[in-house]
Amino acid sequence: MARYSLTDALLIFSAVLLLGGAAPCATKKGTPSKPAQKATPTPTPTPLASGELPLAAKSAILLDAKTGDVLYEKAPDDLQYPASATKILTALLVLEAGNLDQKLTVQLEDTKVEPSALEFKPGEEYTRRDLLFVLLLKSANDVALALARDNAGSVKEFAEKMNKRAEALGAKASHFTNPHGLHDPRHFTTARDLALIARFAMQQPLFREIVATPEFGIMRGDEKVLMKNHNKLLGMFAGCIGVKTGYTRASQQVLVSCAIRGGCEAISVIMHSDKPGIWNDSKTLLEHAFEKLGAGPPPPPPAPAAKPSPDPAGTGIKK
């Protein structure tokens, strides 16, 4: 057996301390290093299911306006707030009551609503026909109140008529409390119901004319006031002939649209979308309709009008 001297033992003990004891001897507390930051991966969009369209809207539906057949739908029976798309039904009831050249005298109670107001003054007089244009183009809420009172005697009674008419049209999941669509938790509909109401309204010639009108002038005393249609899709989509926009914070963006191409007609409803979404979603749906209905591609834009040739000789003859 090998024998070790005291000196050898001390040397071995020192070596062990140097090799294995360095870590415990580090008594200074340094700032701990931060863990390495992992790169956040770019989220991958959820792939669309087969046949699904890329819509921002929470609810949507697309109809063949002639047959009523559903061409596409996305949560069409979810309850949503219609906002000013409510005015489609308001206008329909006024149209069906008739006597549209009858004058309506503005009452004080008609003026107590905001926003999108015509800024009525009590005592002013307008025909029902003119007010329908203002209702659907400018989306004036005070006009909605005046027409409702004129039609039924009060907003409450008019709302009862709205609910009965909606149910008769098959819109049985809806409930309306006012003629303008300002937020009320008891005032709701679905994309399917709203499409049913719009489809029937578009069968009325005057309603159809109004919602396709880009602008309309109304006389206020001796002054002519120009009303521009809020529906920008009229100038964004070839063949668009209506129908009605809507917005509140609770409803977000709403748009009911109708367009014609190649003898085919389609109605789309977008509910609870964002600002670009109502235009993009509606164009996507309407293009989808015309593809399914075999309407063909959109017509080419009209050629710009030719400018007359100058007449430097002053002959009065333009070539």
Catalytic one of 59, 74, 138, 139:
139
Catalytic one of 59, 84, 251, 268:
84
> Is-contact 181 147, C-beta < 8 A?
no
Catalytic residue flag (residue 161): no
What angle, 0 to 180 degrees and rounded to 10, lies between the N-to-C axes of helices 191-201 and 87-97?
30
CA distances from 242 to 39, 141, 172 (A): 48, 19, 24
CA atoms within 13 A on the CB side of 1: 2
Catalytic residue flag (residue 282): no
How far apart are alpha carbons 289 and 259 in whole angstroms? 10
What angle, 0 to 180 degrees and rounded to 10, lies between the N-to-C axes of helices 141-152 and 128-137?
140
Residue with tokens 């005046």: 146
Strands (E) across 69-228 are located at 70-74, 103-105, 125-127, 215-220, 223-228
Catalytic one of 59, 74, 87, 251:
87
Residue with tokens 């991958």: 44
Question: What DSSP string runs through 251-262?
Answer: TEEEEEEEEEET
Catalytic residue flag (residue 103): no
Phi-psi region of 224 (alpha: psi -120 to 50; beta: other; left: phi over 0): beta
Give, rounded to a whole angstrom, the gap between the first and last alpha carbons of the chain. 128
How far apart are alpha carbons 230 and 76 in whole angstroms? 24
> Is-contact 268 256, C-beta < 8 A?
yes
- 224 three-class SS: strand
Which of 195, 164, 220 lies closest to 88, judged by CA?
A: 195
Question: Which residues participate in catalysis according to the annotation?
Answer: 84, 87, 139
